[in-house]
Amino acid sequence: MDSALSSPPDDDPDNASGDDSRHDPCGRAAGTTTAVADDRDGHEKDATPPPNEMYLSPDTPQTLVKLLVAGPFGVGKTTFIRSLSETEPLHTEEIMTSGSAAVDDLSGAREKSTTTVAIDFGRLTLPGDLVLYMFGTPGQRRFRPLWQDIARGALGALVLADTRRLSDSFEVMDMIEEAGLRYAVAVNNFPDSPAHHPSKLRDHLDLLPDTPLVLCDARDRDQAADALIALVGHVLALTPQESA
């Protein structure tokens, strides 16, 4: 897998230059990202980005981690990133047109009027100078080549799922497994989502015993953070630290 932990001295990976591709937030080499919030994927509530309290410091080594926020169409990926990002999130939402009616299933997301056509991006700094770069990926099958490019260099993925249509998550999980990425699953709670015990959800999703599964509301910053921390803990526990 083309990913690794890195501790570049650069002041800001978004403005990095030169040939050190580890600073590239678009994932052309190893590393990851932190992001926080943006999107109306399934949720209409806008979250105001919190004030940025922790930016990259030139005096402190930073560990940069690129993570994917993945999931089927309309599951809440943009909302999740908007809720968490300490910077103004980048998003590429476009108005849905009648031309997509034949290919985009709006079951469970009838009020959805926009969709991500490229990426969502946000950044989140955790205690210990761990900087997460979050890349939200489109959920539709036709964007699979783009998904594969975005996934390059990622350390892991958080798969958002919706209990109203759990089977829609299988294709995304298959792509993540084919890419060799470790992942966690966050079941996003919608107002009309049927509630199920986590053990039943694990069985239905056929998760390995060590794959984290959490329940969350993508609009809630604390719950979204808990889901992301579960993923980070999972991938870092299985990733050897770089030797000095």
State the CATH number of the domain containing residue 107.
3.40.50.300
pLDDT at 130 over 50: yes
Within-domain flag for 2: no
Closest CA to 129 of 68, 55, 228: 55
pLDDT at 144: 76
Mean pLDDT score, 215-223: 96
How many angstroms separate the CA atoms of 43 and 40, rounded? 5
Within-domain flag for 8: no
pLDDT at 95: 57
User: Confidence class of residue 219 from pLDDT cuts 50, 70 and 90?
Assistant: very high
Does residue 200 or residue 14 have the better pLDDT? 200
Does residue 103 or residue 225 have the better pLDDT? 225
pTM, full prediction: 0.66
How many angstroms separate the CA atoms of 75 and 58, rounded? 37
CA gyration radius, the chain: 17
Within-domain flag for 228: yes
pLDDT at 128 over 50: yes
As for how many domains the chain has, the answer is: 1
Lowest pLDDT segment from 71-80, 202-211, 217-226? 71-80
Within-domain flag for 180: yes
Residues in Cβ contact with 133 at an 8 Å cutoff, skipping those fewer than 6 apart = 13, 25, 31, 32, 33, 34, 35, 64, 65, 66, 67, 121, 122, 123
User: Confidence class of residue 32 from pLDDT cuts 50, 70 and 90?
Assistant: very low
Mean pLDDT score, 50-60: 51
Within-domain flag for 1: no
Within-domain flag for 244: no
220 residue type, one letter: D
Contact between 120 and 87 (Cβ < 8 Å): no
| Range(s) of the domain holding residue 18 | 13-237
pLDDT at 1: 43
User: Confidence class of residue 58 from pLDDT cuts 50, 70 and 90?
Assistant: low
Residues in the chain, overall count: 244
pLDDT at 84: 95
Within-domain flag for 128: yes
Within-domain flag for 182: yes
pLDDT at 137 over 70: yes
